[in-house]
Structure 1
């Protein structure tokens, strides 16, 4: 039994039993192709996006739509609105999207939900009049396309040196091209009465009258022009395109969009982008692009789930991420690389490694493909986070295919490092100037962030440490990239913590950085690690666990929440790697996790911790809490060896500290 003082003992046997349960559960959950894939839970607006796609395509109600209406009703709060995340309260944006999807309900549940939503919305302020809502209301024929800032199809044909071009817009570029094509085709569509409906009939309720007034004022407010230099430039471009023909540019833009449809029919492997892309193809000629549109709908159908709440839409799948997490954990738990299921997982990941020069290649020179996408299928947008996670595990396999895949991934990750030393998800050197005032958060960028930079550093520390044979030629480039990345992390510290972009937010970011620091050779007494562990201890909940809400992403400061397995795992991991594995806070966090494990070896998060768009839209990747909880408990039990496990990079770090 681990005993640290008279209080809060942690039974080693209990930890071993818990980890054994997790090990057996994950081995039993592996799919035939070697992958793992958990559910992706998100807010109801994702299902509403699917319904709105159908109405925009001119489709009618069917069994799917009726089941989704039942789901939307089941998720509606008593007040009549819908929440952006569990426990978050009614959200104006989510509620307005859901009501638009229910504008012509076919079921009693749908009609009841729409009536309650109208009553709630009528008492609220308006959603922000940003680019998302201008576009969404234009798709629904509530606004004219002229009410949006103009995006020209010339963006696709502009050379790399001429700005703006389509590659300046990072992850939003597929949506930008779809919008540009719709605007080019429908410069001035007739506004129809979709949400507005018929004039209020005699005898309509006072509540209905209030909603009608609110609705009309909302649409008028959203139609107001966005001011600023970028919108002014867009208007100049609109005038230029009205004078100089754009037929050639439009044809190139259509082909650009078609090329970015994945083999499963999706665009950017997400419902949101797929929806807008197939609506654009429908506008351009539904008959011409019928097969493409049906393929997009089939991809969305593949991500739907049916249970006692009805039918709901997942926004994507998390297969490659889940497979990388599970393989990493099982290797750490002692499942040998030669185990049949580890070989199967390795073969799956090697086979689906990205070997295509996607849009990321437009910001690099001489960098060969080598990443992985988050989803099972993702030719155009591999991301650094998944690549670093998977490559780190592949280093444990002693066969040529795994070694070659790891080498390609490491070289690609080094090539994706930004000029400032940090790493982002899908691109390098984010062009923040494209996010003009009034555009809103949906025009997302991809700046370097602490969580992905930390994961890249942990991988490169393995390479620099020289403990893996066959990578000697990569040690020099990896050492340089590692040094630059560490300097970036030291600059990016937010006081005594780090802000993670893609999981909520400060607990995860600080956990990732603490682990990266130790992997790279930092001593636990380094000032950054001392400050981090003191902060972690200070935000523990009274029950010994840790929690953080998505409000952290909105407010850009820590927002504590009820304890969850995900956040408690992050905190425990941070404490261990920051040198506080013997602390009371670490012991209490470990006890909290042990007491919340399910009988099948899993852990369940009821909140949303994964940021689809930081500060706006969140999800729950349901396998992630289990992997992180087990991983943190394992690190907790092995704390005696953590400090000496990464000697290979220690010399580099001492040089860095001496030079700072």
Structure 2
């Protein structure tokens, strides 16, 4: 398919390249090039998560009353089949593969199977029920699960945190307003505020009840702030205050002026409908799209409402046909991310900068630059337009991480004529947008500036553990990598502030927390990479401590690994089974410091070479991506491939250009 791969002249040649590493890179390049979309040149991998997505889809179909439609009935059957393939030996379901069973995921799976027609006496449901009881019972499930139960009359609304639509009325200068929530929380909560205000009740199928989960003596519901939220002891806490406010809001329902509720509902509806424009569904992510459908129905619109139909259509695009195993559901698509890293890995591993695959991918990325103002403009009123999102179309939400990765990729491709000019203009727009998005503490967050008010994490419906979007070490470091690419160093105030932020964030053992990848291996790689790219001396104590930590957690097989449970228990950092992606991250931390002839590097390279499959890729069964720490994790199915290729490519380039190991030239 790609004849140029058979032609040695299509690769940058150099002396001293280890033959095995070069051959491994060639195999990996072939595999990745074969996955490129023929029609337009982009890459997109399956993005996998837990079974809460399949469970929620079954719930949605039943809530819409469509379960008896033949086509929908078949989808429900196949979604349920997939859920059953993921059940663990103890009867429960995990939030990350090889992890312990978790109460909300387990309950949702159990209830979805009942809604799909399975009997409570089915042996698999009996095991699931026993697991639910072991994990603390139904009252331990999270707030959003209780919200969905209340829609069917299975949980009292009094036990569900209030999400009043009046939050839409707070002005942007007020301490509490919707833009102090993270972007993804806005997409989830604003539609739910509409639903909460209406509190509709959907018909429950005959087998959909859950009375068996309420053994004698179990209350039908518990107040907000009860068993699950565990309010702290003491005279005062913000959590206690919010719990009392929750009760007050519920007591005031139906008392306040009617026009205020009407006004707030109109604002919430208008926001939701406007944010469905220029987007593949609200925020282009599963929970926001599902909640949009619930909100449209709660407002009394018919099933053929265009926004309902659009969001349902986009949700069903997330389905992956697993044959006899059923239908798996993705949380969103990751084409910008996958394409940018694929371009970077191919270019770094020696594919010529003017190769047609890279040129086509670059054109595709340029076509998806965002040129309209999004939610970020509320807190960054003077920022220029520019940037890229994670998904195919999500114009209100360009993000810093994807934009930085695209900028790194754009500079690795050789272009000519108008396309080259378009690339340079887009690069400058993206760079200026990144610079404008720096937060006051010196770091960069994912979507917004200064979205860091800790108090929001104490709100009762904040148990998805992602109410805010504060700056993080991993994203800050990636921005530094971009700035180093264009010649920035510590003499620039923005860089100085970012370096200070990174060093404040470093853990006592030398590692860095990883917000968007698992976990300390991801954060540490990014931090070391960012610091060295803007000229920090690899002998700096912060960097040396990071490398010492990486050496201390290298596995006997030469690789590195870490599981998602480190977000709950940091003492387990770096202790998981080796994976190709995490091994590549650790290797790139060493390579970024110009370290080639080191036992840790040699062992890591050996791990990658010895675990590569004959077809050029690697196997990886662990989740190494993070959605919401402690709550929702991701398996990026190309992480196992393009990160090892990137590491092998970096090693090859550095052996060719050993005189410039510390500060790496990234311009082509």
- TM-score of the superposition, structure 1-length normalised? 0.87
Q: Which residue is 1:157 aligned to?
A: 169
Over 3 Å counting, the alpha-carbon distance change for 1:626 and 1:642 in structure 2 is farther
Which one of the candidate residues 131, 134, 137 is aligned to 1:120?
A: 131
Cα deviation code 1:84-128 (max 9, x no counterpart): 222113222210111121223336899554333123323331364
Higher alpha-carbon deviation: 255-264 or 625-634: 255-264
3-state SS of paired residue (2:320): strand
The answer to whether the 8 Å contact 2:278/2:396 transfers is no
Structure 2: gaps of 5 or more residues: 1-15, 230-238
Structure 2 counterparts to residues 232-631 of structure 1, below 5 A:
232-236=244-248, 239=252, 242-244=255-257, 245-246=259-260, 247-261=262-276, 263=278, 265-287=280-302, 290-307=305-322, 308-396=324-412, 397-398=414-415, 399-430=420-451, 431-436=453-458, 438=460, 439-464=462-487, 479-495=492-508, 496-557=510-571, 558=573, 560-631=575-646
Q: Report if aligned partners of 2:567, 2:629 keep a CA contact under 8 Å in 1.
A: yes
**Conserved 8 A contact 2:279-2:395:** no
Deviates more, 1:606-615 or 1:290-299: 290-299
Q: What residue in structure 1 maps to residue 31 of structure 2?
A: 25
Alpha-carbon contact 2:151-2:201 (below 8 Å) kept: no
Q: 2:92 aligns with which of 81, 101, 110?
A: 81
- 2:45/2:637 contact within 8 Å kept: yes
Query: What is the alpha-carbon distance in structure 2 between the residues aligned to residue 110 and residue 423 of structure 1?
Result: 51
1:195 to 1:435, Cα distance in 2 relative to 1, 3 A: farther
Which range is displaced more, 49-58 or 510-519?
49-58
Matched position secondary structure for 1:43: coil
**Match 2:194 to one of 181, 185, 189:** 181
CA distance in 2, matches of 1:523, 1:199: 61
Cα distance between partner residues in 1 of 2:17 and 2:349: 18
Match of 2:633, SS state, is strand
Match of 1:468 in 2: none
Separation in 1 of the partners of 2:326 and 2:120? 11
The offset of 1:643, in angstroms, is 7.1
- C-alpha displacement of 1:648: 9.7
Q: Does 1:59 align with 2:84?
A: no
Task: Identify if the C-alpha distance between structure 1 residues 587 and 198 changes in structure 2 by more than 3 Å, giving closer, same or farther.
Answer: closer
Aligned pairs for 1:85-234 within 5 A: 85-106=96-117, 111-126=122-137, 128=140, 130-170=142-182, 171-186=184-199, 211-213=213-215, 216-217=218-219, 219-220=221-222, 224=226, 228-234=240-246
In the alignment, the residues of structure 1 paired with residue 651 and residue 112 of structure 2 have an alpha-carbon distance, to the nearest angstrom, of 48
Choose 83-92 or 621-630, whichever is displaced more: 83-92
CA contact (8 A) 1:450 1:499 kept: yes
Deviations 1:327-386 (A, max 9, x none): 111221233343222221111111111112111111112112211111122112111001
Establish whether residue 71 from structure 1 lines up as the match of residue 73 from structure 2: no
Distance 2:107 2:217 in 1: 10
Residues 442-495 of structure 1, C-alpha deviations (whole Å, 9 max, x = no match) = 453211111100000000111225xxxxxxxxx99x933222111110111012
Q: Deviations over 1:22-63 (max 9, x none)?
A: 122222221121210111121112211211121222220511
Note if contact 2:450-2:470 (Cα within 8 Å) is conserved in structure 1. Answer: yes
Q: Cα 1:242–1:642, aligned 2, differ >3 Å: closer, same or farther?
A: farther
Q: Over residues 378-404 of structure 1, what are the superposed CA-to-partner deviations in whole Å (9 max), with x where a residue is unaligned? A: 112111001001012223455111011
What is the TM-score of this pair, normalised by structure 2? 0.86
Assess, with a 3 A threshold, how the Cα gap between structure 1 residues 158 and 220 changes in structure 2: closer, same or farther: closer
In the TM superposition, residue 299 of structure 1 has moved relative to its aligned partner by 0.8
Runs (5+) with no aligned partner, structure 1: 1-9, 201-207, 466-474, 650-660
Q: Are the aligned partners of 2:279 and 2:394 in contact in 1 as well (CA < 8 Å)? A: no
1:294 positional shift: 1.8
Residue-pair matches, total:
619
Cα distance in 1 between the residues matched to 2:277 and 2:123: 38
Deviates more, 1:103-112 or 1:342-351: 103-112
Check 1:35–1:135 CA distance in 2 against 1; reply closer, same or farther (3 A cut).
same
Contact 2:383 2:433 in 1 (8 A): yes
Cα 1:302–1:111 change in 2 (3 A) is farther
Aligned partners of 2:217, 2:341: CA distance in 1, in Å? 46
Structure 1 pair 636–190 and aligned structure 2 pair: CA distance change class (3 A): closer
CA drift of 1:230 comes to 2.6
The separation in 2 between residues aligned to 1:288 and 1:273, in whole angstroms, is: 18
For the aligned residue pairs, the C-alpha RMSD in angstroms reads 2.8
Contact 1:50–1:271 (CA under 8 A) maintained in structure 2: no
Deviation at 1:289, TM superposition (A): 6.2
Q: Aligned partners of 1:71 and 1:499: how far apart in 2?
A: 33
Instruction: Give the superposition deviation at 1:422.
Output: 0.4
